[in-house]
Structure 1
Amino acid sequence: MDAEDLREVDWRIIDTLRDGRNNAPNIAEELDYSRQYIRERLGQLKQADIIVSIGSGIYELDPQEIPSES
C-alpha cells in the first residue's frame, strides 16, 4: 500500500499508533469513527504490513513499513 492509497483515517490511525499500542474500540472512540469502520481499516493496514496484531485485539506500528507522506 502506497501513501496515495491511504485514506485520511488511515493516517489518523497511524498517528494514534505512533503514541503506542492500542485497540480498535479505543481508536474508534478517540477518532470518532465506528468500531466496525476502524476494524476494517486496521485490517487493511495489517494486510499492507503497516501495522501488526500482537494479540488480544492490540495493534502496533511496524515503523519500517509506514509509507512516506507525499
Structure 2
Amino acid sequence: MTQADDRILETLSDSGLILSPRVLAVNTDYSRHYLSTRLGKLHDADLVDRVDEGLYQITDHGRAYLNGDLEADELEPEP
C-alpha cells in the first residue's frame, strides 16, 4: 500500500461517488496513468470495484482498511 492508495480510497469514500482515474487525478496530486495502475492493484486487493471500464468505487474491504479494521499486511499476497 502506498500513500497514493490511501488518498484514492479516501477520495472514493469521502465522495461516495463512482470515479474515473481522470477525475481522481484532477482531485489529487497524481497522474491519471499512475492512478490507473494503482486502481488495478487496489482492485486486485478487493479494495475497489471496477463498476465499468475505467470507473471505480470503494468496497466494504476498502472502508474496513480506512477504518483500521483491516491491516495492509493482510492484503499482500502470500509467497
Q: Which of 29, 35, 43 is the matching residue for 1:46?
A: 43
TM-score by length of 1: 0.82
Q: Tell me which stretches of 4 or more aligned residues in structure 1 moved more than 6 Å.
A: none
Q: Give the alignment's Cα RMSD to 1 decimal.
A: 1.5
Unaligned runs of 5+ in 1: 1-5
Larger CA Rg, structure 1 vs 2: 2
- TM-score, with structure 2 as normaliser: 0.73
- Give me the identity figure in percent: 30
Normalized per residue, which structure has more strand?
A: 1
Higher relative contact order (CA 8 A, sep 6+): 1
Aligned length in residues: 64
CA distance in 2, matches of 1:46, 1:35: 16
Which residues of 2 match residues 1-70 of structure 1 at below 5 A?
6-18=1-13, 19=15, 20-63=17-60, 65-66=61-62, 67=65, 68=68
Unaligned runs of 5+ in 2: 72-79
